[in-house]
């Protein structure tokens, strides 16, 4: 008879088929971008379920973002036409939260623990650095935070670190003190930071093998996407979960055996089947501890593993693929892969060089509008940049051009102060042990509770051996004035009222409206909303709107999770990761960093700011392997595009309040020149008739190359014509310009009163010169073009 999963295997190429139908202990799929790795995972899950080889509850699939998890779940459900309830498809962090919520009481936490995001841990570390006067040893909160994070990703704790550190160095001793104080504070607050979610789950499994066994027996098929970006802690977690389950004779509680689990008897249940997929060329998180060895040493760690290579790319046109292949070939420590496609050459890659980032943004907006007129939906377009701050110039132009857009990962809605305040109120109810949260709301809104009172509360709590939160219930014992006593008592009463709504006595179930109601009580009765309403600061109006939005989010949450508790809500909020968004982004252009773009695909992609110091980023220059990692990041960006790829840069960029000259990225030169059709090459920008007038006039009117919108051709026919300019000339010009890519006026002497002539603005008089060296700026009053600021080094000017 036919296989029950026959339809799931249709259209797969032979190695994909081999991967989907493999049955055995371990499978490694290594393959370049767009070769169907994620698709193979999805079909593999569907195939297992369809053939009743596994129950949904026996599957654990790990994706990089919650959004990717949602998509995979949907895809599986489409494929098997059945509900796949009970299947765990989630990020590492979400999976660990689920495990910890069930098991936290095993090791001194309770299930209502708080999750500290990096802002929360930074705040805690800041306080500890101050208390330990650690700045005297050159320790900064940011530095301490990132060191602790790196160590935790290596599964090190303060003790194990201290054993191999140079403890005769006082700075090291203080660091170790801070590390243990930080960990103790987290434990007291019943909180885990992001790294702990993984690391403490590993610890739990190693220390309590009988707990680990529950999950080992449960998950029979474990699948991990983007395996190249797992760090050591994540690797260890997977390793723990795929161990065989021991017979009952193994003594797993022997005192010395807390951390190491030695198999003593023959396995009763064999280890789970593990499938990992990854691409070493897309490893972009080494800076966060991702370890490429997790891929390269897979065969050693899982003897007998089957390895499958995929070489056909189903995503991009040949031109896009050729560009990406050419770029990544410059990394020296890689195995060459031969990615190919049969969809044809496709359109040329479009290049554009703007005079400024505004000009570049205008180009992007114009192209987006042209594509949209040619029937490409906005949702199929994405704009990438290396750093978050680059989005501002794009947003300004998009707003003016009425292009609907959404910033992925950067919305930072949950980072806004008023949202953090509101959530801190909710945390103070859900996890009263969380001192950080209670301290945060103590004087928000202003109640006249200052540092002195805060210290008295902390002291009283320590004396009485009660929590900071419980100390609030004894306002009269704190030795503070009557007004402050009343303010504290009022806060305590509000928290108590919300607690009754949100956390009903055991046995009772909170109604679906509990989260919304409780939060409203907290924000209204605490006076928080009133303080904003009474303010004359226009920003406070926006803050009120944001809080209304948060209330709306709780309603939405209740609709989707009728039994969801305040804890579930806070978990969801805490884990909203980079590429995640609570809203539906259909019908909008997506803006995001190159990191966030991983795993996604769009018909049209705009890679912006292709400049030295941005990509490769300046900070990468001094990191070992930094420039290579930047090249992989650029490779990730290019390979997101299905049909159209645009590469753009600006010749001057204002950052941190300074305007400076930018150079085309070295990665641009690694792309074969005949693949790029320069609408405006770096050379053009300096030649006559360049960009300045366009930048001045704002909107582009067809531009030098002419748009392709309005041609009547529909997008999707592959017929949308690209304007052809004297391409060879452009490329020659571009090639000739390297390395002297921009006009260099050297140390042109200029001072107030000098007259100059500008290629586009004509003649004018210098009012002032500011800045120094390469960053000298001339403030010029042009006879007809008005006042301008010009970067002297590169502006197309001569002194008269």
Positions marked catalytic: 37-38, 225-226, 282, 640
- What does the alpha-carbon distance between residue 765 and residue 778 come to, in Å, rounded to a whole number? 10
Closer to ligand ATP by CB, 11 or 752: give it.
11
Smallest separation (angstroms) from Mg ion to the CB of 632:
15
- What does the alpha-carbon distance between residue 139 and residue 646 come to, in Å, rounded to a whole number? 43
Residue 11 binds to ligand ATP (criterion: CB under 6 A): yes
Question: Looking up tokens 């009952």, which residue turns up?
Answer: 248
Closer to Mg ion by CB, 38 or 362: give it.
38
Residue 512 CA to its chain's centroid (Å): 31
Residue 616 binds to Mg ion (criterion: CB under 5 A): no
Pairing verdict, β 114-116 and 306-310: unpaired
Residue 67 binds to ligand ATP (criterion: CB under 6 A): no
Residue 36 binds to Mg ion (criterion: CB under 5 A): no
Closer to ligand ATP by CB, 12 or 214: give it.
12
**What residues from 13 to 32 belong to the interface with ligand ATP (CB under 6 A)?**
13, 16, 31
Question: Looking up tokens 């139908």, which residue turns up?
Answer: 21
Count of residues touching Mg ion (by CB under 5 A): 3
Q: Transcribe 325-339 into DSSP letters.
A: HHHHTT-TTS-----
Closer to ligand ATP by CB, 360 or 601: give it.
601
- What does the alpha-carbon distance between residue 24 and residue 20 come to, in Å, rounded to a whole number? 11
Q: Transcribe 527-588 into DSSP letters.
A: SHHHHHHH---HHHHHHHHHHHHHHHHHHHHHHH-TT--HHHHHHHHHT--TT--SS--TTS
Closer to Mg ion by CB, 634 or 761: give it.
634
- What does the alpha-carbon distance between residue 145 and residue 604 come to, in Å, rounded to a whole number? 38
Contact 360, 691 (CB under 8 A): no
Do the annotations mark residue 393 as ligand-binding? no
- What does the alpha-carbon distance between residue 495 and residue 200 come to, in Å, rounded to a whole number? 30
Residues facing residue 384 across a β-bridge: 592, 607
Pairing verdict, β 221-224 and 273-278: parallel
Do the annotations mark residue 690 as ligand-binding? no
Do the annotations mark residue 564 as ligand-binding? no
Which residue from 8, 37, 308, 460 is in contact with ligand ATP, where contact means CB under 6 A?
37
Question: Looking up tokens 């103070």, which residue turns up?
Answer: 428
- What does the alpha-carbon distance between residue 597 and residue 613 come to, in Å, rounded to a whole number? 20
Smallest separation (angstroms) from ligand ATP to the CB of 636:
7
| Window of 9-17, 215-223, 263-271, 680-688 that interacts with ligand ATP by CB under 6 A | 9-17
Do the annotations mark residue 36 as ligand-binding? yes
CB count within 10 Å of CB 749 equals 9
Residue 732's binding partner among Mg ion, ligand ATP, none (Cβ under 5 to 8 angstroms by kind) is none
Do the annotations mark residue 506 as ligand-binding? no
Smallest separation (angstroms) from ligand ATP to the CB of 38:
3
HSE of 552, CA atoms in CB hemisphere, 13 A? 8
Q: How far is CA 72 from CA 162, 542, 760, in A?
A: 42, 36, 53
DSSP state of 614: B
Contact 456, 479 (CB under 8 A): yes
Closer to Mg ion by CB, 37 or 595: give it.
37
CB count within 10 Å of CB 534 equals 10
Residue 316 binds to Mg ion (criterion: CB under 5 A): no
**What residues from 268 to 307 belong to the interface with ligand ATP (CB under 6 A)?**
279, 282
Smallest separation (angstroms) from ligand ATP to the CB of 675:
20
In the shown chain, the binding pattern of residues 579 to 608 toward Mg ion, with x for contact by CB under 5 A and - for none, equals: --------------------x---------
Residue 275 binds to Mg ion (criterion: CB under 5 A): no
- What does the alpha-carbon distance between residue 372 and residue 622 come to, in Å, rounded to a whole number? 42
| Window of 7-15, 496-504, 581-589, 625-633 that interacts with ligand ATP by CB under 6 A | 7-15
Smallest separation (angstroms) from ligand ATP to the CB of 599:
4
**What residues from 451 to 490 belong to the interface with Mg ion (CB under 5 A)?**
none
Closer to ligand ATP by CB, 314 or 414: give it.
314
Which residue from 8, 20, 38, 352 is in contact with ligand ATP, where contact means CB under 6 A?
38
| Window of 36-44, 264-272, 629-637, 778-786 that interacts with Mg ion by CB under 5 A | 36-44
Residue 34 binds to Mg ion (criterion: CB under 5 A): no
Residue 36 binds to ligand ATP (criterion: CB under 6 A): yes
Residue 325 binds to ligand ATP (criterion: CB under 6 A): no
Whether omega for the bond prior to residue 616 falls within 30 degrees of 0, making it cis, is: yes
Contact 179, 148 (CB under 8 A): yes
Residue 32 binds to Mg ion (criterion: CB under 5 A): no
Question: Looking up tokens 């990406």, which residue turns up?
Answer: 324
Do the annotations mark residue 422 as ligand-binding? no
Phi, psi of 98 (to 5 degrees): -60, -45
**Could you tell me which of 471, 85, 38, 387 has the C-alpha nearest to residue 224?**
38
Smallest separation (angstroms) from ligand ATP to the CB of 16:
6
H or E segment and range at residue 60: strand 59-62
Residue 565 binds to Mg ion (criterion: CB under 5 A): no
Residue 318 CA to its chain's centroid (Å): 29
**What residues from 592 to 611 belong to the interface with ligand ATP (CB under 6 A)?**
599, 601
Closer to ligand ATP by CB, 199 or 346: give it.
346
Do the annotations mark residue 453 as ligand-binding? no
Smallest separation (angstroms) from Mg ion to the CB of 547:
37
Residue 16's binding partner among Mg ion, ligand ATP, none (Cβ under 5 to 8 angstroms by kind) is ligand ATP
Which residue from 16, 35, 38, 588 is in contact with Mg ion, where contact means CB under 5 A?
38
Closer to ligand ATP by CB, 16 or 246: give it.
16
Do the annotations mark residue 344 as ligand-binding? no
Which residue from 5, 15, 26, 39 is in contact with ligand ATP, where contact means CB under 6 A?
39
- What does the alpha-carbon distance between residue 596 and residue 378 come to, in Å, rounded to a whole number? 18
**Could you tell me which of 720, 703, 638 has the C-alpha nearest to residue 675?**
638
**Could you tell me which of 247, 15, 285 has the C-alpha nearest to residue 150?**
285
Which residue from 206, 315, 646, 679 is in contact with ligand ATP, where contact means CB under 6 A?
315
Smallest separation (angstroms) from Mg ion to the CB of 529:
44
Retrieve residue 5's tokens. 């999963």
Smallest separation (angstroms) from ligand ATP to the CB of 496:
49
Residue 228 binds to Mg ion (criterion: CB under 5 A): no
Residue 314 binds to ligand ATP (criterion: CB under 6 A): yes
> Which residues, 6 or more positions from 431, have their beta carbon under 8 angstroms from its beta carbon?
110, 112, 113, 114, 189, 190, 191, 437
Residues in touch with ligand ATP (CB under 6 A): 11-13, 16, 31, 33-39, 279, 282, 314-315, 599, 601, 639
Residues in touch with Mg ion (CB under 5 A): 37-38, 599
Residue numbers in the known binding site are 31-38
Residue numbers in the known binding site for ATP are 31-38
């Amino acid at each position: 008879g036919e296989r029950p999963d026959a339809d799931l295997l249709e259209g797969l190429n032979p190695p994909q088929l081999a991967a989907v139908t493999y049955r055995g202990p371990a499978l490694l799929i290594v393959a370049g971008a767009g070769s169907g790795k994620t698709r193979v995972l999805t079909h593999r899950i569907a195939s297992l379920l369809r053939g009743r080889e596994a129950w949904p509850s026996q599957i654990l699939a790990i994706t990089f973002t919650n959004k990717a998890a949602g998509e995979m779940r949907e895809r599986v459900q489409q494929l098997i036409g059945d509900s796949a309830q009970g299947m765990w498809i989630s990020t590492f962090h979400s999976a660990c939260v689920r495990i910890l919520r069930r098991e936290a009481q095993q090791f001194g936490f309770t299930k209502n623990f708080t999750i500290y995001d990096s802002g929360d841990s930074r705040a805690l570390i800041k306080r500890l650095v101050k208390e330990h006067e650690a700045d005297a040893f050159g320790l900064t909160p940011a530095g301490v935070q990132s060191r602790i994070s790196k160590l935790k990703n290596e599964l090190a704790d303060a003790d194990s670190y201290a054993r191999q550190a140079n403890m005769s160095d006082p700075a090291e001793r203080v660091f170790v003190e801070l590390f243990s104080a930080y960990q103790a504070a987290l434990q007291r607050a019943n909180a885990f930071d992001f790294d702990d979610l993984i690391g403490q789950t590993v610890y739990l499994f190693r220390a309590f093998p009988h707990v680990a066994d529950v999950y080992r027996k449960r998950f029979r098929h474990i699948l991990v996407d983007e395996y190249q970006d797992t760090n050591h802690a994540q690797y260890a977690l997977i390793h723990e979960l795929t161990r065989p389950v021991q017979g009952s004779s193994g003594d797993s509680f022997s005192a010395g055996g807390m951390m190491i689990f030695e198999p003593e008897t023959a396995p009763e249940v064999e280890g789970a089947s593990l499938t990992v997929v990854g691409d070493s060329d897309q490893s972009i998180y080494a800076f966060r501890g991702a370890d490429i060895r997790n891929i390269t040493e897979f065969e050693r760690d899982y003897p007998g593993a089957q390895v499958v290579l995929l070489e056909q790319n189903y995503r991009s046109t040949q031109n896009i693929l050729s560009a990406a292949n050419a770029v990544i070939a410059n990394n020296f420590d890689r195995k060459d892969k031969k990615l190919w496609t049969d969809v044809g050459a496709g359109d040329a890659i479009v290049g554009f060089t703007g005079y400024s980032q505004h000009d570049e943004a205008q180009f992007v907006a114009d192209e987006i509008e042209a594509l949209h007129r040619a029937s490409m939906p906005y949702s199929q377009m994405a704009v990438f940049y290396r750093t978050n701050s680059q989005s501002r110039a794009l947003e300004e132009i998009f707003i003016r051009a009425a292009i609907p857009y959404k910033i992925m990962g950067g919305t930072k809605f949950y980072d806004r102060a008023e949202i953090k305040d509101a959530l801190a109120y909710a945390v103070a109810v859900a996890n009263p042990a969380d001192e950080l949260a209670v301290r945060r709301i103590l004087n928000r809104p202003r109640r006249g509770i200052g540092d002195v009172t805060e210290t008295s509360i902390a002291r009283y709590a320590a004396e009485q051996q009660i929590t900071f939160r419980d100390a609030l219930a004894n306002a009269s014992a704190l030795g503070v004035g009557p007004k402050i006593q009343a303010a504290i008592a009022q806060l305590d009463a509000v928290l108590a009222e919300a607690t009754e709504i949100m956390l009903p006595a055991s046995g009772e179930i909170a109604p679906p409206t509990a989260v919304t109601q409780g939060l409203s009580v907290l924000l209204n009765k605490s006076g928080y909303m009133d303080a904003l309403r009474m303010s004359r600061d226009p920003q406070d109006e926006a803050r009120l709107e944001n809080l209304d939005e948060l209330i709306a989010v709780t309603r939405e949450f209740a609709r989707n999770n009728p039994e969801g508790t305040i804890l579930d809500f806070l978990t969801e909020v805490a884990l909203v990761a980079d590429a995640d968004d609570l809203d539906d982004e259909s019908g909008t252009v997506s803006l995001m960093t190159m990191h966030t773009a991983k795993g996604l695909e769009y018909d049209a992609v705009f890679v912006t700011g292709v400049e030295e110091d941005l990509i490769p980023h300046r900070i990468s220059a001094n990191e070992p392997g930094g420039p290579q990692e930047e090249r992989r990041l650029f490779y990730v960006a290019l390979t997101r595009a299905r049909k159209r790829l645009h590469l753009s840069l600006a010749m001057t960029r204002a950052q941190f309040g300074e305007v400076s000259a930018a150079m085309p990225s070295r990665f641009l030169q690694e792309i074969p020149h005949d693949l790029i059709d320069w609408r405006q090459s770096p050379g053009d920008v300096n030649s006559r008739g360049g960009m300045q007038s366009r930048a001045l006039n704002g909107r582009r009117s067809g531009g030098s190359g002419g748009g392709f919108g309005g041609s009547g051709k529909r997008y999707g026919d592959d017929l949308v014509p690209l304007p052809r300019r004297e391409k060879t000339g452009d490329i020659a010009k571009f090639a000739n310009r390297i390395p002297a890519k921009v006009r260099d006026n050297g140390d042109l002497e200029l001072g107030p009163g000098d007259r100059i002539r500008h290629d586009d603005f004509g003649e004018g008089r210098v009012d002032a010169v500011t800045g120094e060296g390469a960053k000298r700026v001339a403030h010029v009053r042009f006879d007809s073009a008005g006042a301008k600021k010009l970067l002297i080094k590169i502006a197309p000017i001569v002194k008269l």
